Structure 1
Amino acid sequence: MHRTKENEVEKNSSKSLLREYAEAIIIAVLLALVIRAFVVQAFKIPSGSMKNTLLVGDHILVNKFVYGIKLPILNKELLHFRDPERKDIVVFRYPVDPSKDFIKRVIGLPGDTVRIQDKKVYVNDQLLVEPYVVHSDPRILPASVSPRDNMDSILIPPHSLFVMGDNRDESFDSRFWKFVDMDELKGEAFIIYWSWNGDGKLTWNPTESYIRWNRIGNLLH
């Protein structure tokens, strides 16, 4: 009889332990979903449109509440904190195909006029100073061929942004498909938490390493 009670106690203890583990896992999953939906989300950079600020193989974290809190399913804003600012690096749903996420830099805000002359960007007729920009193609294309290097002045509509990649000659951005609606913003990129180079190898030497140790932890500006 005593042994039976011991067995019952052991079974109850095992069930309690399993229940605790299950509850802990469920809570952890729910917290991860909440954090991903409202706080921070990780993204991987698949293209070179933002180099040298961001390289292929960089893994970044995006602040999802910096501009406000939205209901993910309804895409409805519950709280508004601040509007995007010029030169913010933002992740957004690609206007042409919302199933894809793009990352670019904010250049024009609602009410601004933006024009491009010989690769130089003018906002409200003032030359925009952009130390982060790189050009891989020395050619200057006329507006009749492409808006890449020369674009007539356009007015940014309300609740919209004009965005461009830092790698100006290799970026498919607002010069080609115009504006990003602010409702499509997912957040602001703020840090590189991991980075690797498929052409390298596993070593502690930063110039040869498969892992780009010198990029990990870099804040984005």
Structure 2
Amino acid sequence: MSPWLDKQLEGKEKTVLREYAESIGLAILFALILRGFVLEAFKIPTGSMIPTLLVGDHLFVNKFIYGIRVPFTETYLTRFEQPDRGEVIVFKFPGAEARQYLAKQPASRRECIDTASLVEEKDFIKRIVGIEGDTVELRDNQLIINGEPVERTFVSKESTGNYLFPHQVSEVEELNGHEYTIQYSGKHENFGPIKVKKDHVFVMGDNRDNSSDGRCWGQVPVENIKGRAMIIWLSLGPDSIRWDRLGQVIH
């Protein structure tokens, strides 16, 4: 083979390799932009949001809806919507504020959260039930916002076979146009009242008896909110895919 032909083939190989490298680089850049500004995947690790979200649900979080941040920071370049009651959000656990809040609580109240969460400041997912200025309380499991009971409709009461908590009650709550099902054991749960601070929200899990939430460790700074839970794109049960949950919009 002639030196000229060798040189031409070598140049062509370099061009192909460069095109591959550029394509891969652009794909990585696009993925980083998407994750930084628009969408982020999240996996449900616990049952605190049952029955709305199940362990093994994989969902997309809309990071764009509340505004544009400097990527991988909590600083907003511009804001759009404000987080509102009834929305399911993913947020970075407010470790510092939670530690201060728990330090003022009796020892029995401090057992409601794994101490590792206070250090790691990992991502949590809960439902907003109170926004800045709201007064939030529970009376016999009835959620009350600013003195007004949140509308709820009885769904079912099932036997659990558990001596301490023999029943599980399911009800549909309607909050700010959002309808969702909650469940609790039927024991008389009371909390508050508390007032939501400036630039904070108050969150709870839909699985009211099995959720480490604002009743335990306090309020969430708005700047800690990463986005609104949007849609389930995959749901993995213990033995198989839960096909009926794929594509479900989260309310």
Give the distance between the partners of 1:152 and 1:6, measured in 2 at CA.
Answer: 82
- Offset of residue 72 of structure 1: 3.4
Within a 5 Å distance, the mapping from 1:21-170 to structure 2 comes to 21-96=20-95, 97=118, 99-129=121-151, 130=173, 132-140=180-188, 149-170=189-210
SS of 2:183 mapped into structure 1: coil
- The ranges of structure 1 where at least 4 consecutive aligned residues each deviate by more than 4 angstroms after the TM superposition are none
Counterpart pick for 1:188 among 228, 235, 239: 228
Q: TM-score, normalized by length of structure 2?
A: 0.78
Select the structure that is richer in helix.
2
Structure number having the greater strand percentage: 2
Paired residue secondary structure (1:83)? coil
Which structure 2 segments of 5+ residues have no match? 96-117, 152-172, 174-178
Deviation per CA, 1:61-80: give whole Å up to 9, x if none. Answer: 00001001111344211011
Question: Secondary structure in 1 aligned to 2:185?
Answer: coil
Contact 2:235 2:242 in 1 (8 A): yes
Aligned to 1:205: none
Larger deviation, residues 93-102 vs 56-65: 93-102
CA distance in 1, matches of 2:65, 2:4: 57
- Asked if 2 retains the 8 angstrom alpha-carbon contact of 1:67 and 1:80, the reply is yes
Does the residue aligned with 1:23 lie in a helix, a strand or coil?
A: helix
1:4 to partner: Cα distance = 1.7
Letter in 2 for 1:105: R
Alpha-carbon RMSD across the aligned residues, in angstroms, is: 1.3
Residue by residue, what CA displacement relative to the aligned partner does 1:163-201 show, whole Å, maximum 9, x if unpaired?
A: 000011101100111100000000000100000102x2x
Residue 139 (structure 1) shift: 2.0
Q: Are the structure 2 counterparts of residues 42 and 74 from structure 1 closer, same or farther at C-alpha, using a change threshold of 3 Å? A: closer
How far is 1:5 from its partner? 1.1
Amino-acid identity (%): 43
Match of 2:213 among 154, 173, 189: 173
Please tell me whether the aligned partners of residues 133 and 168 of structure 1 are also in contact (alpha carbons under 8 angstroms): no
Structure 1: unaligned runs, 5 residues or longer: 141-148, 201-209
Structure 1 position 99, deviation (Å): 2.9
Higher RCO (CA 8 Å, separation ≥ 6 residues): 2
- Counterpart-to-counterpart distance in 2, 1:133 and 1:70: 32
Secondary structure class of the residue paired with 1:187: strand
Q: Secondary structure at the match of 2:180?
A: coil
Q: 1:87 corresponds to which letter in structure 2?
A: G
Per-residue CA deviation, residues 43-78 of structure 1 (Å, 9 max, x unaligned), is 000000001110000000000010011113442110
Number of residue equivalences: 202
